[in-house]
Chains A and B, each alone.
Chain A
Amino acid sequence: MIAAIKKLTWTDYMEFGFFIVLALTPLLWFGNGALITGGDTDFPLDPLRRMYERIFAWNPNFLSGADHSLDIATLFFSAVEALPYLITHNLVTSEKLSFIFWFGMSGAAMWFLAGVLFPGKRLFRILATTFYMFNFFQFSNWEEARIGQLSATVMLPVVLAGYVSYVRGKITIAQYICVCAIGSIIGMGLGVQPPEIVVFLIFYGIYTVLELAVRRFFVLRSFIRRVVALATPFIVFIGVNMVWILPEANFIRSSSYTDANTVKAVFDLNALLSWGSEYSSFLNNFILAGHTAFYDSWQGTSYLPIIQHLLLSNIWYAFELLIPLTAFAALLVGRGRVVAYVAVGAILSIFLSKGIHPPFGLFYTSLARSIPGMWTIRAPWDKFGLLTMFSYSVLIGITGSFAITFLAERIEKQLHGRIKQNILKAGALAICSIGIITLCYPLLLGGGFPYPHGGLPGKHVTIPKYVSDAAKWVNQQNGQFRIVPMPDTQASIYRWGYASPLDVTLREFTKPVLNREYGQGEAPPHPIFILYDRLAGAIYKKEYNEASALGGLLGVRYYLQRNDIVYNFYSSNGDDPNAMARRLSRIPGVHLTRRFGAWDFYENDNAIRHTYAASSVMVDRVGMRKTDFAMANGSKNAVYFFSPLNRRDRRSLQPVIGNEQQYKNRDTTYLSIVNRIPTSEQIDIYALHPYVLVFGDNYSPGWHLYAGRPGAFDILFGRVKPLSDTLLVNGYANGWVVRDTNIKKLTIFYEPQVLVVAGALVSLMCLVFVGLFLCVDSMMNRVSSKCL
């Protein structure tokens, strides 16, 4: 290592210095000491808590309880955010460091690959890396903080570098596996974007055919080496990422996401495909600017003014066409398999990025119908653009290095050697690099994170102290309970500049927050959304008794009246904070209890407990109309609290028709919560009669009730069995009929968490195997080199 450092020349140091400076680009994006968040840029306000949440398959706070198996894939991404916060305890510094990490790593990965593809070609390395870091696709990645694409941007060159090195015999299989394992860990975030995985699999299939369906069939050794080389990244990726693959696969299977019609409905696929293909013409795709958000606006105001201004400038646009022109000129000046593969990659990805945009939009539709999984891609440019960006980087590196060398030689000859070729090359390289960066100056200046403009909120936010104080007060309270933020809106826009589908309450509160789903499939359809809809409707329609009953049933302890919301952002419906406060205070049992700045908390005395045991079945409660329940559940059985019960349970649980007081008098159980983590709740219970245990997290068949205190491994290895079937109760919650009153200790467990534990074990074992294999391999290499 030290010997290698000693061998470095001053040009090597200059190259490192150049890329270190480029990696620090994110520092230019921050202003006024504010945090960059909001919109799709979802930087957590508590990175440590976010990291903690990512190890669980269930998030009890999000939409008051939802499966979050998909988010386990962001474990590494969250760790990159959490680690700096653990050290610095400063949110803005942590965000800067995590941005620098990902931006720098994308450059480092390409730099690594460029060195492997064409060793010693410094011009190629610098140009390819510079373009890989500065282009419009990267801009869109950052503008939306797309975890999947950012991770894939780093992973792809790393794994390809390993592949090329192994095929060329430069590294051993152990080293290759190690490179793939590193790439797989970094690329873990790809799991949040299953469509991006489909894109990778499509191209993986194409290149596998290209690599194998040639005359190498007849050279067995070469063929086997290629098969091993191609299969290794695939197997290692699956092995290392089993921690999220297992729960995610289970989630997709159990949530009906394998059914195309369900997914199309949940994610509004067809509408989004049309939206995502609106600007992805060949012309825009050629310059990597087919992203609809670049051109989109809200009531005439562009979301991204800097880039829209640039793309609407015809002169600038004409200059941008230098990018594909330089890239495809590699077909004239380059040779070999690398150029051929990369050029074909660019051509294919440009076509597929186009989606259903004419010409040949129907061809994409028929491809989507015939290639398995391709129909999941609702934003083709966002998914295929990564491969265009990658291909362009290599091609631009090839053309650029050729052109610079060619020109430098010619000019040196013309000047009879008065200016040395190296100086000419350095000058040309500097001009080219600056040109590449200038063509994508919105990324350099952080144009993806605009300040408030034209009535639209920005992304530079300072969280008001009252928000943190309110969160602290809520989070310190014991037990679980729901909070309903008001006004009812699908995306809250705050006057202090924050706006995001993921509301600030969801980020700050550690208690379940029940609000309107933003859309685009944040969670599979759930009956609680219908109940919430009815609750919000009752409040707005001033049906206060109905609101009281529903709020009580849903376990809403607090209504949070946010006076700092921009009312009537979406439409002018005449709503205002005073009207909302009046409505809330008129709901029976609801009263103002605490104020934090612009946030008022209204407590609901009628809220049922989150977890309770009932020895009687209630058919009706405080005037609730049966039709309400029927609508909530879509089943006539749902007029019962507990549904559907079998005959034996009905005998043991005598139904009563009555009110709250009657219910309380007949309650003969004592229950206390011993411990709660997102995926399990431990309970001590004393009951005289058979009872129904109600657990207020959103209903999921994944929740099971066990006797005693079983651990994840007991459930994993089948040492314990659930006490009874999980029932949908209260229209949204989980319930279990418990007949054995001798059981004093109960554990409610979210079973998909077992898959997280099992997956983590497999991942860990894979990493240990990779480490051991590498050690043995290096020891054997040393022994064999000594013998020689």
Chain B
Amino acid sequence: MSLDAYIFLGISSIGLVILIRGRKDNRLAWLGILLLLLSGLAMFFKNQDMADLFANAAYAALFWASLVFMQDQKLWQNDEK
């Protein structure tokens, strides 16, 4: 497996745990934003490979962060009563 896949698996495991715990948690969103910043930084220093790696990791973090966010907002509950 490539490094990307390991990172995806790692972040997905964390995301799953957070999702199952079902508590308000925005650490993955922070992680995603941090990774985007790192990607920008890598780009700034002309390291395209690192920028790609950080962007891929950022995507994984933001993917789980948005799922956690959906759960936080309790969308499954009827809000029209």
A interface list, Cβ under 8 A from B? 210, 214-216, 218-219, 222, 281-283, 286, 314-315, 317-319, 321-322, 324-325, 328-329, 331-332, 335-337, 339-340, 343-344, 346-347, 350-351, 358-360
- Bitwise, B8-28 to A at CB < 8 A (1) or not (0) is 100000000000000000100
- Of the listed residues A219, A286, A331, the one surrounded by the most CB atoms of chain B closer than 10 A to its CB is A331
In the assembled complex, the CB of B52 is this many whole angstroms from the nearest CB of chain A, namely 5
Q: Report A-chain residues with C-beta under 8 Å of the C-beta of B58.
A: 282, 286, 324
Q: Report A-chain residues with C-beta under 8 Å of the C-beta of B36.
A: 286, 321, 324-325, 328
- Of the listed residues A286, A318, A332, A337, the one surrounded by the most CB atoms of chain B closer than 10 A to its CB is A318
Q: Contacts A286-B36, A328-B29 known; A340 to B55 CB distance under 8 Å?
A: no
* CB pair A340 B75 closer than 8 Å: yes
7 tightest A-B CB contacts, nearest first: A283-B55, A321-B40, A331-B29, A318-B44, A318-B40, A343-B66, A359-B4
* CB pair B78 A219 closer than 8 Å: yes
| Chain B 44-78 interface residues, beta-carbon cutoff 8 Å to A | 44-46, 51-52, 55-56, 58-59, 62-63, 65-67, 69-70, 73, 75-78
In the assembled complex, the CB of B32 is this many whole angstroms from the nearest CB of chain A, namely 6
* CB pair B44 A359 closer than 8 Å: no
In the assembled complex, the CB of A87 is this many whole angstroms from the nearest CB of chain B, namely 48
Complex Cα spacing A339 to B26, Å: 14
Complex Cα spacing A359 to B5, Å: 8
* CB pair B55 A315 closer than 8 Å: no
Complex Cα spacing A343 to B62, Å: 9
Q: Contacts A314-B43, A347-B63 known; A215 to B77 CB distance under 8 Å?
A: yes
* CB pair B29 A359 closer than 8 Å: no
Complex Cα spacing A698 to B55, Å: 52
Count chain B residues whose beta carbon lies closer than 8 angstroms to a beta carbon of A.
39
Complex Cα spacing A325 to B40, Å: 10
Least CB separation from A343: chain B residue: B66
6 contacts between A and B (CB under 8 A): A219-B80, A282-B52, A283-B55, A314-B46, A343-B69, A343-B70
A-B contact count (CB 8 A): 111
Complex Cα spacing A219 to B4, Å: 44
Q: Report B-chain residues with C-beta under 8 Å of the C-beta of A347.
A: 59, 62-63, 66
Complex Cα spacing A551 to B9, Å: 64
* CB pair A337 B80 closer than 8 Å: no
Least CB separation from B37: chain A residue: A325
* CB pair B62 A328 closer than 8 Å: yes
Q: Report A-chain residues with C-beta under 8 Å of the C-beta of B55.
A: 281-283, 286
Q: Report A-chain residues with C-beta under 8 Å of the C-beta of B70.
A: 340, 343-344
In the assembled complex, the CB of A323 is this many whole angstroms from the nearest CB of chain B, namely 10
Q: Report A-chain residues with C-beta under 8 Å of the C-beta of B73.
A: 335-337, 339-340
Q: Contacts A214-B77, A314-B43 known; A328 to B51 CB distance under 8 Å?
A: no
Least CB separation from A358: chain B residue: B4
In the assembled complex, the CB of A164 is this many whole angstroms from the nearest CB of chain B, namely 13
Complex Cα spacing A72 to B65, Å: 43
Least CB separation from B71: chain A residue: A340
Q: Report A-chain residues with C-beta under 8 Å of the C-beta of B45.
A: 314
In the assembled complex, the CB of A467 is this many whole angstroms from the nearest CB of chain B, namely 46
* CB pair B39 A321 closer than 8 Å: yes
In the assembled complex, the CB of A343 is this many whole angstroms from the nearest CB of chain B, namely 4
Q: Pick the contact of A318 from B5, B8, B30, B41 — CB < 8 Å?
A: B41
Q: Report B-chain residues with C-beta under 8 Å of the C-beta of A335.
A: 73
In the assembled complex, the CB of B11 is this many whole angstroms from the nearest CB of chain A, namely 13
Q: Pick the contact of B69 from A283, A317, A321, A331 — CB < 8 Å?
A: A331
* CB pair A339 B69 closer than 8 Å: yes
* CB pair B66 A315 closer than 8 Å: no
Complex Cα spacing A340 to B76, Å: 12
* CB pair B33 A329 closer than 8 Å: yes
Q: Report A-chain residues with C-beta under 8 Å of the C-beta of B43.
A: 283, 314, 317-318, 321
* CB pair A315 B76 closer than 8 Å: no
Complex Cα spacing A705 to B4, Å: 63
Q: Report A-chain residues with C-beta under 8 Å of the C-beta of B62.
A: 328, 331, 347
In the assembled complex, the CB of A312 is this many whole angstroms from the nearest CB of chain B, namely 11
Q: Pick the contact of B56 from A329, A343, A359 — CB < 8 Å?
A: A359
Q: Pick the contact of B33 from A318, A325, A359 — CB < 8 Å?
A: A325
Q: Report A-chain residues with C-beta under 8 Å of the C-beta of B32.
A: 328, 331
Complex Cα spacing A351 to B60, Å: 10
Least CB separation from B34: chain A residue: A325
Q: Report B-chain residues with C-beta under 8 Å of the C-beta of A210.
A: 75
- Of the listed residues B8, B58, B59, the one surrounded by the most CB atoms of chain A closer than 10 A to its CB is B59
Least CB separation from B56: chain A residue: A282
Q: Report B-chain residues with C-beta under 8 Å of the C-beta of A214.
A: 75-78
Q: Contacts A283-B39, A286-B58, A350-B59 known; A332 to B29 CB distance under 8 Å?
A: yes
* CB pair B37 A340 closer than 8 Å: no
In the assembled complex, the CB of B63 is this many whole angstroms from the nearest CB of chain A, namely 5
Least CB separation from A346: chain B residue: B66
Least CB separation from B30: chain A residue: A332
* CB pair A337 B75 closer than 8 Å: yes
Q: Report B-chain residues with C-beta under 8 Å of the C-beta of A332.
A: 26, 29-30, 33
* CB pair A215 B76 closer than 8 Å: yes
Q: Report A-chain residues with C-beta under 8 Å of the C-beta of B69.
A: 331, 339-340, 343
Complex Cα spacing A343 to B40, Å: 21
